[in-house]
Chains A and B, each alone.
Chain A
Amino acid sequence: MTVVDTTPPPRLPVRDRTAAAERAWGGLSPMLTRLAAERASGVLVRELGTLYLSEGRVVHAESPLAPGLDTLLTAHGTLTAEAWRDAVSRADERSGAAHLLLAGGHLAEGALQLCHLGALYDAAYFALAPSSAPGRFRYGVTHRLGPVLPVPVAALERETLRRRDLLRRIWPDPRADSAPLARTRTTAAPKLTARQQALLERIDGTRTAAELARELGRQAFHTLADVRRLASAGLVAPRPPEATTGPVATDDGPAATDEGRAATDDGPTTADERPAAEGTGPAVSGAGPPPGITERIACTTDPHITLLKRLRDALEAL
């Protein structure tokens, strides 16, 4: 046998990933970066929250997932609900609600600044979350609260990234952030802090972390951190989403029919992708493989099996 020596194929051009990522990196939201650069004033509406800008700096943030400043201030008696309502209703262009609260002696300046900063970073964490819908900006809109302590966009983005990383380090599976939470049994539960205990007592399989945060009058991110710590300790798990509730509820109808069709076409793939849905939806379970050991394992409360499942989930999430 003769060996024919051919020229080796030319090296395929390889894209330098790090350089490409740096070139494409426009911050958490390229639009926000641009607005900061042009020192815009107005309101940026994103999928999960709203940022109020004044001369390119963030003055206020709101998100349906984070309790507002009013909740944080009134929940523990720092401020009465009447004082807040009164200040908001009297607020106008010239003096915002913050100014009125301070002038009325309801609140010390430092207390307001700290609570406001906490609420701002908290809501901005959700507002800057990756989203599929494009953001919209309306120039000239201001918030009724008025300016308290503006935050540079760069600082906000840095903090948001740090928070994402912090959550990932505690427990890498993000499902517990948005799904209704349920308590699970565990073999060796660690001792909990008073804050975590209060949170755990309110977990009943129906409410999400955001709802619990609002109920407790705590910042949503802090609640997420506690939830993830409880999840990593095996005390809490996201309840499997059902067809009627949970984060997929918005496109409920078409998703359900899609799923049913897909299940008849290629059953195994669907079953792999949606093990939880398979167990709960009676229509789908009729089309897929018969409910057997897989379903029993999915619903088990045996502490040893749940421990193994947590290990598997953690390894998969890495």
Chain B
Amino acid sequence: MANTETCLKEALASIEGATGVALVDYTSGMALGTMGGGKTFDLNVAAAGNTDVVRAKMRTMEHLGLKGQIEDILITLNDQYHLIRLVGGRGGNGLFLYLVLDNKRANLAMARHQLKRIEEDLEV
């Protein structure tokens, strides 16, 4: 498994249009690592907020009695895509990757594919 920093760096460098990426623990809402983002986009705040999104979806699925696992969650803004990918595996349980994409430059299908690969690398 790649270490945290390598994994985030790879996501930011290899995924076209990526402007920020974070690895988040969704029970506490803490970003275990962030990269990119910048002054106008605080990834720590985004991480904490999107924890609620993941938790809400998981709760809904439990209420519905769905047995499947969330692979990823896509949120589209008028100028950005936000992609959330849950990290599988034993040790990764409770983590997700959060990727911010510029929608002018990003290829959604490719980004999803690449994020999946990085997540598998990260799998503990």
Contacts and interface: CB of A to CB of B under 8 A. Distances in A.
**In terms of DSSP, what is the predominant structure of the interface of chain A?**
helix
B32 A118 contact: yes
Contact of B7 (A78, A110, A191, A222): A110
Given A162-B48, A194-B62, A114 B124 contact: yes
Interface string A214-226: 0000010110010
Contact of A108 (B27, B30, B58, B124): B124
A111 B28 contact: no
A78 B124 contact: yes
B110 interface: no
A193 B95 contact: no
B91 interface: yes
B22 interface: no
Given A77-B90, A193-B58, A193-B59, A110 B29 contact: no
Nearest to B55: A193
A166 B124 contact: no
**In terms of DSSP, what is the predominant structure of the interface of chain B?**
mixed
A113 B4 contact: yes
A204 B82 CA distance: 42
A111 B1 contact: yes
Contacts of B32: 114, 117-118
A222 B4 contact: no
A110 B4 contact: yes
A226 to B, nearest CB: 8
A110 B23 CA distance: 12
Interface string B60-78: 0011000000000000000
Range class of the B interface residue count: 20 to 34
B95 A219 contact: no
A76 B90 contact: yes
B91 A115 contact: yes
A78 B28 contact: no
Contact of B27 (A113, A159, A192, A222): A222
B3 interface: yes
23 contacts: A76-B91, A108-B124, A109-B1, A109-B2, A109-B3, A110-B1, A110-B3, A110-B6, A110-B124, A114-B4, A118-B25, A118-B32, A159-B30, A162-B29, A162-B30, A163-B30, A166-B28, A192-B62, A193-B62, A219-B27, A222-B27, A225-B27, A225-B28
Please name the 3 residue pairs, one residue from A and one from B, whose CB atoms are nearest each other, closest first: A108-B1, A111-B124, A222-B27
Given A113-B3, A193-B58, 13 more contacts: A76-B90, A77-B90, A78-B91, A108-B1, A110-B7, A111-B91, A118-B25, A162-B30, A163-B28, A163-B30, A191-B62, A191-B63, A222-B28
Interface of A: 76-78, 108-111, 113-115, 117-118, 121, 149, 158-159, 162-163, 166, 191-194, 219, 221-222, 225
